[in-house]
Structure 1
């Protein structure tokens, strides 16, 4: 029997998920939480097979932070992200945080059930369009569509700004942290994007994940 904890800040969502999963003979919902800290306490006590985790929970610890802590505390418990965010930035951050899977709230019920079974068996699950995007990137790499990695051409300051930008800090926050002007941050960021052949912020996030530049301590 797959034991599951549901984590979402909307009670109606939790109720709907509990009803759906209770109909499956191989699943049981053993607990519910409305934010990350509560989820961690419950999971530590109940040690479920799967934690079904929302990302955006404004009234407590967010899903990414909770996922990372759960991955460290309970490595045998799979965290399956269930979110409305169809976005590469959130996807890659979830993977980096230690999530075993990522499913959209708009997905059919059958897909969610399949994803739960997949991660409970120790495997990874990504929703189909995300898998398609990752495979497309892989094929481009095989076909030589990616430029050589120029990370080592970055200055120490550019590497700092790359890491902080990928972690979600705004230009003003980076400037305050590094004691430099916002204009200087913008110049360094432009240089980073040009040197690495990146075009958008999601591209930068994906690059940082692949280089292992993100941590959530």
Structure 2
């Protein structure tokens, strides 16, 4: 009887733990231009878990948004950017491993998404740490038709409508893994993307960041108020 009671109690505890778990994991990125909250996609678990691992270690704290292009994206996560001298070209730092590509047709380069940077490796494996956030711009049907010819996949009707009304960078679809999206604070991305920069697209005034993994309680609260990914 005692064993049965212990087993039942264990099952209840496990069930309760899963029931209380948030549906999504969120992170906060802070800069001197404000902050944004990003929902990490469950559809890309390897990228999600790697980003959380690094963020919990404080890896990103003090790194810079070292490459910014208005109407395109802002890029960061290079460990060499910490305390880098002014004017030094950045973007080659890494953590010594890559993440296998996790392409999903439903995840595309709409405005506000978080995606993994990478080099030109044929497997399209992602950098273990560098990432970018899409600012993008709205495109016309004619512009989308031209970009469609360069893609390995078709731009669906829903995605086409999104690119026309909200914006993004569709020419990156199927080439770089998208693994999250800004759900609050997209204006921070716009402000960082608009800063003055040098010939290497590095901001003339450094834009350091801090990245925080939100608690389970905070994630559950956000799950209640943030609509699901369209």
What TM-score comes out, normalization by structure 2 length?
0.22
Between Structure 1 and Structure 2, the one with more helix by share is 1
Higher strand share: 2
After TM superposition, the score normalised by the length of structure 1 is 0.23
Greater relative contact order: 1 or 2 (C-alpha under 8 angstroms, separation 6 or more)?
2
